[in-house]
Chains A and B, each alone.
Chain A
Amino acid sequence: AQSVSQHNHHVILSEAASLELGCNYSYGGTVNLFWYVQYPGQHLQLLLKYFSGDPLVKGIKGFEAEFIKSKFSFNLRKPSVQWSDTAEYFCAVNPGGGADGLTFGKGTHLIIQP
């Protein structure tokens, strides 16, 4: 079975700081990788996804993530965060077929201080 680790459970940054949230997964085969965001009081929304091709993927709101197969990692980055990025961020994977249930990491609670 696959598993997902998110290393930082709570991150506090100032506005304009750069962000990198770590995500490592464990699975022997082809995986699809996702980052979801949950803003306070809202539902899970997809930030970006990787299925194949260019390992550097760009998502909404200036986020990007890089898939490094050798490290089983899919870290989320943003060069300059804003106060509105305060949210819970979840890394998730599912196996190659694409319609299987997602395995989520525990999430990272990001707080951006103005």
Chain B
Amino acid sequence: EPEVTQTPSHQVTQMGQEVILRCVPISNHLYFYWYRQILGQKVEFLVSFYNNEISEKSEIFDDQFSVERPDGSNFTLKIRSTKLEDSAMYFCASTGQGGGKIYEQYFGPGTRLTVT
């Protein structure tokens, strides 16, 4: 069964550094998402991406964050200057075709980001 993959599984970085989290969504999917889960808290939506542009973003997704689909397979989340409070598990998700039909979102295994 096709899966969403994410790399790395664990990233440790120093405060102020830039990080890029990578995701490979399921190949025929068209909508891509990033979520985060701070330890002990709920999963929170960050951003959705469709047709090479952001379609929706939450209040969390400020100017420090950006997303990109640099090629036909990868979907990346960049944090420009990490803060301690960015430490969290980051999940990528993707879902199938739109056109009014609703599909489930498939989640990747997550990248644990630790900012020191």
CA A25 – CA B24 in complex, angstroms? Answer: 31
**Chain A facing B: main interface SS:** loop
Q: Interface readout for A31-54 with B: 1 if CB under 8 Å, 0 if not?
A: 010101000001111100101000
CA distance A98 to B56 in the complex (A): 13
Q: Determine if B56 and A100 form an interchain contact, defined as CB atoms under 8 angstroms apart.
A: yes
Against B, the Cβ 8 Å flags (1 = close, 0 = not) of A14-40 are: 000000000000000000101010000
- The total number of A-B Cβ pairs within 8 Å is 62
Q: A32-B102, A101-B45 are in contact. Are A43 and B107 (CB under 8 A)?
A: yes
Give the interface size bracket for A toward B.
20 to 34
The A82-99 residues at the B interface (CB cut-off 8 A) are 90, 92, 97-99
A106 — which chain B residues lie within 8 A by C-beta? 41-42
Once the chains are docked, how many angstroms separate the CA of A90 from the CA of B45? 14
Closest B residue, CB atoms, query A42: B109
Is B104 within 8 A of A107, CB to CB?
A: no
A99 and B108 within 8 A (CB)? no
Q: Are the C-beta atoms of B43 and A104 separated by less than 8 Å?
A: yes
Residues of A within 8 A of B (CB): 32, 34, 36, 42-46, 49, 51, 90, 92, 97-107
